[in-house]
Structure 1
Amino acid sequence: MASSKQKACELCWTPKQNKVFEKALAKYDKDTPDRWHNVAKVVGGKSVEQVKRHYEILLEDLRHIESGHIPIPNYKSTPTIFRLSTTQCQVLNQENSPSNSLYPSRSLG
């Protein structure tokens, strides 16, 4: 019988494994023979049963999102760092000008 720690580890997926999983789902669609075997093989370190369970969890999450139980984050379209005032831009330009460089420019003449 599997311990609770082993069961918890079965549910643990690294970001890399998730990305590979998503790509494998796109490559091996529902009509692909041996779909889950192929997905598990590509992901690596996961059994067919673990891959199927992960897919069920993904579908459950999607249902929660689509039903409005999980709010979609309100991301700003433009990062705040790019909203600098004219004065801030002038200060940044002045700080980065060649005259403020650690290595003074040399005359080539």
Structure 2
Amino acid sequence: MASNSSLSHRQTKLFENALAIYDKDTPDRWQNIAKATGITVEEVKRQYQLLVDDVEQIESDKVPLPNYKTRGGKASYQLELRLKCLRMQ
């Protein structure tokens, strides 16, 4: 999501996967995510804040969920899964 993201598609996927692996209780969380994505700790924190801001906007109904046109609703399911993971952090 992170509409103001400067990450490539590949880095975004690495970032999302690293967030799932290194939760809030992981020691050196931001450093581990930075190492996994190849970006700086400062950029990791900025990307995380952008993601949190996006989720807050969606949950407050300020931004409508996109109408994905995929087979079986896979994209919509993935968005819901990402939101659920963020809420757990």
TM-score of the two chains, using structure 1 as the length reference: 0.57
1:36 aligns to what? 30
2:57 aligns to what? 64
CA-based RMSD: 1.8
Which runs of 5 or more structure 2 residues have no equivalent in the other structure?
A: 73-89
Displacement of 1:61: 0.3
Displacement of 1:74: 2.5
Displacement of 1:75: 3.3
What letter matches 2:35 in structure 1?
Answer: K
What letter matches 1:15 in structure 2?
Answer: H
1:26 aligns to what? 20
Q: Does 1:50 align with 2:64?
A: no
1:16 aligns to what? 10
**Separation in 2, partners of 1:13, 1:77:** 24
What letter matches 1:38 in structure 2?
Answer: N
TM-score of the two chains, using structure 2 as the length reference: 0.70
Aligned sequence identity (%): 53
Moved over 4 A (4+): 76-79
**Separation in 1, partners of 2:42, 2:67:** 35
Q: Give the number of the structure whose alpha-carbon radius of gyration is greater.
A: 1
Secondary structure, counterpart of 1:72 in structure 2: coil
Which runs of 5 or more structure 1 residues have no equivalent in the other structure?
A: 1-10, 80-109
**Separation in 1, partners of 2:40, 2:70:** 40
Structure with bigger helix share is 2
What letter matches 2:12 in structure 1?
Answer: N
**Separation in 1, partners of 2:71, 2:41:** 42
Output one character per residue of 1:30-74: Cα deviation in whole Å (capped at 9) or x when no partner.
000000000000001x11011001100100000001111111122
